[in-house]
């Protein structure tokens, strides 16, 4: 139906042509229905007898053929002799009759029927031709179902190179020899070298796997075929394998080139896990892919296959053996330096204020992928555009980051004075716990009691530097900070609220990791236990695990109570100022409480 709609978009001429064919078909079908009504053939003698008994209503005479209707409504036909007395007989019994010469048998309806039979195939051919042209590449109709759905990008269309890909320096270095091979294949063939032809890019979504593959094609200045693993699979058996054959046939014609298969786990999962006893469509497609990846090496053509996935563990082992995808390139989350480079790349086409510090933004976005950072800059530009600003400022970028991480500020949610006071002391407890553990906690950034998403208040802290190892003291400090909000509520109001639910959930999860994952328990020792809820342990072991988790959280909670009780004056001053201003930055808090800021602490 979608294809026919595309045909109607071709203009009034196409619409008129199809309407004419449709009306012609309806007219012919109507006439055919009339022709094919129940019509009984009777003998001439029966006809004469029926006339004499006044059973005939009307007849139509065409030469010696009579088409008539009985008075009961049934139709009949018969052949009579050429006798003038027949007319007299019909008149005498009051039968309505009409006469037509034999030469007029080929009438308008016969012409219309002939035109319909000739026009219908022509109309079908034109529709198929139109839909094929509108779908691009000849893949829009049933006759091209086995054609590959890969999109081909010529070198002139690829504007991406390694300079366009910030970060992932190690991945780019691994792919440099692939670029060299595509540029100078004879350089390797003259010594009999066979370079890796299958490269698997592994990384979480948004880290730049597709962009990296395009950059290789841009650097090598060669054609680039892009397709998703799911594009091979169809409900019809054999179609996926045919598409794989067609893709590699096209690639060999345009060698040297790159075939990029995104989400290859859709077609490359381990065999034997599908339906149909191991002979389903997906497995046939995978078998053909394995064959082609072996075959193009012997064809002596420079075709490199690159694929991307975030689930390398589910791929069939035959895909990963030497001669196929035998080189794995990891595309990790960007580190601090990489995030800063990525932000600068995405900010090239955005009007950024001169005081924007990309290093500070990178510090504020740990765990962001390249796609997240691009979205951050775009969201900041949207926020700045709403206020008709000339440039995107640091304030816009921070608002965009908070919106992405926590949700939009809910200014319409009005808290009662009692609730606002409790939230202020809760967040002040988090903030003060950070400030009072300077050696083990990350630096405070800001605290706010403006509701966002599902949170009534938020305390932000920023990492001073990229951290690859975390020690036990730092993890305990994080738990102490998490429970600091509840401790402040208990000290001030002596009432426990539900606002600390998420804090204790995070504290418990971190304590469980310390006990079960990192071997930081005195009773259980340096042993790793499963942390998933369905893990099966003996009753004794399970009791020890739960006791250790509870002990860690309890110790941290007691520490938070001691810190805040000792500094109750600072807690009251911070909370009351927060009620008045709603949002405070670290610099303001240091000055308010008379605490020396951390040496490496930088504000956004």
SS (H, E, C) 498-526: HHHHHHHHHHHHHHHHHHHCCCCECCCEC
CA distances from 23 to 14, 118, 535 (A): 14, 15, 70
Residue with tokens 């020396």: 596
68, two tokens: 């008539």
The Cα–Cα gap between 226 and 206 comes to: 17
* Assigned token pair, 85: 């007395």
Main-chain dihedrals φ then ψ at residue 315, nearest 5 degrees = -75, 150
Bridge partners of residue 392, in order along the sequence: 352
Tokens standing for 473?
């003291």
CA dist 167 and 365 (Å) reads 15
**Rounded distance between C-alpha atoms, residue 484 and residue 559, angstroms:** 9
C-alpha angle 119/122/124, rounded to 5°?
Answer: 110
CB count, 10 Å around CB of 552? Answer: 23
Asked if residues 445 and 364 have their Cβ atoms less than 8 Å apart, the reply is: yes
**Radius of gyration for the alpha carbons in the chain, expressed in angstroms and rounded:** 40
The DSSP 8-state label assigned to residue 267 in this structure reads T
Cβ neighbors of 192 (< 8 A, separation 6 or more) are none
CA distance 573 to 428: 9
What DSSP character marks residue 24?
H
- State how far the Cα of 159 lies from the Cα of 217, in Å rounded to an integer: 10
d(CA 30, CA 531): 73
Tokens 């808290």 — which residue? 415
Three-state secondary structure call for residue 393: coil
Whether residue 427 lies in the annotated active site: yes
d(CA 328, CA 332): 12
Residues 414, 394: contact at Cβ < 8 Å?
Answer: no
> What letters, b where the CB count within 10 A reaches 16 and e where it falls short, cover 181-203?
bbeebeeeeeeeeebbbbbbbbb
Please list, in sequence order, all residues whose beta carbon lies within 8 angstroms of the beta carbon of residue 377, skipping any fewer than 6 positions away. Answer: 343, 346, 347, 350, 392, 397, 400
Gap between the Cα atoms of 160 and 425, Å rounded = 51
CA–CA distance, 517 with 185 (Å, rounded to integer): 48
The dihedrals phi and psi of 543, each to the nearest 5 degrees, come to: -65, -40
Catalytic-role residue among 219, 427, 442, 489: 427
Given the structure tokens 């555009």, which residue do they identify?
A: 385
Active site (catalytic) residues = 427
């Amino acid at each position: 139906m979608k294809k026919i709609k595309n045909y109607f978009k071709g203009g009034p001429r196409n619409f008129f042509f199809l309407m004419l064919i449709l009306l012609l078909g309806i007219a012919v079908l109507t006439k055919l229905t009339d022709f094919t009504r129940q019509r009984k053939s009777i003998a001439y003698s029966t006809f004469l007898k029926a006339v004499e008994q006044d059973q005939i209503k009307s007849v139509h005479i065409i030469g010696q053929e009579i088409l008539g209707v009985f008075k009961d409504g049934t139709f009949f036909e018969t052949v009579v002799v050429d006798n003038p007395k027949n007319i007299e007989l019909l008149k005498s019994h009051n039968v309505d009759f009409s006469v037509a010469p034999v030469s007029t048998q080929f009438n308008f309806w016969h012409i219309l029927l002939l035109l319909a039979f000739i026009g219908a195939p022509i109309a079908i051919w034109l529709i198929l031709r139109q839909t094929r042209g509108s779908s691009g590449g000849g893949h829009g109709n049933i006759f091209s179902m086995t054609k590959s759905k890969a999109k081909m990008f010529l070198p002139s269309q690829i504007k991406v190179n390694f300079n366009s890909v910030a970060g992932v320096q190690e991945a780019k270095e691994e792919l440099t020899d692939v670029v060299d091979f595509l540029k100078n294949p004879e350089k390797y063939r003259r010594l009999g070298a066979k370079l890796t032809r299958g490269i698997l890019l592994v990384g979480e979504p948004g880290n730049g796997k597709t962009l990296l593959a395009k950059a290789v094609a841009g650097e090598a200045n060669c054609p680039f075929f892009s397709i998703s693993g799911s594009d091979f699979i169809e409900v019809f058996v054999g179609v996926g394998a045919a598409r794989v054959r067609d893709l590699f046939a096209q690639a060999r014609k345009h060698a040297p080139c790159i075939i990029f298969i995104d989400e290859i786990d859709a077609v490359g999962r381990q065999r034997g896990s599908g339906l149909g006893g191991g002979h389903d469509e997906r497995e046939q497609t995978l078998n053909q892919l394995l064959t082609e990846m072996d075959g193009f090496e012997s064809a002596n053509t420079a075709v490199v296959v690159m694929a991307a996935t975030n689930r390398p563990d589910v791929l069939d082992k035959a895909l990963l053996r030497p001669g196929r995808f035998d080189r794995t390139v990891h595309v990790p989350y960007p580190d601090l330096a990489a995030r800063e480079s990525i932000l600068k790349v995405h900010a090239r086409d955005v009007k950024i204020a001169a005081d924007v510090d990309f290093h500070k933004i990178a510090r504020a976005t740990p765990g962001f992928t390249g796609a997240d950072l691009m979205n951050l800059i775009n969201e900041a530009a949207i926020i700045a555009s709403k206020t008709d600003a000339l440039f995107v400022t640091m304030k816009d970028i921070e608002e965009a980051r908070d919106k992405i991480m926590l949700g939009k500020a809910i200014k319409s949610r009005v808290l009662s004075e009692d609730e606002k006071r409790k939230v202020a002391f809760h967040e002040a407890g988090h903030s003060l716990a950070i400030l009072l553990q300077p050696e083990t906690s990350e630096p405070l950034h800001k605290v706010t009691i403006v509701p966002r998403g599902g949170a009534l208040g938020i305390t932000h802290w920023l990492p001073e530097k990229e951290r690859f190892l975390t020690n036990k003291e730092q993890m305990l400090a994080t738990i102490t900070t998490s429970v600091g909000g509840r401790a402040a509520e208990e000290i001030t109001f002596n009432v426990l609220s539900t606002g600390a639910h998420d804090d204790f959930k995070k504290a418990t999860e971190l304590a469980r990791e310390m006990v079960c994952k990192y071997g930081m328990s005195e009773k259980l020792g340096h042993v790793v236990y499963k942390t998933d809820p369905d893990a099966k342990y003996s009753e004794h072991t399970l009791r020890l695990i739960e006791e250790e988790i509870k002990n860690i959280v309890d110790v941290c909670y007691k520490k938070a109570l001691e810190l805040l009780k000792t500094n109750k004056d600072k807690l009251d001053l911070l909370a009351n100022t927060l009620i008045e201003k709603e949002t405070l930055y670290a610099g303001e808090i240091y000055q308010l409480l008379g605490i020396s800021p951390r040496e490496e602490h930088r504000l956004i």
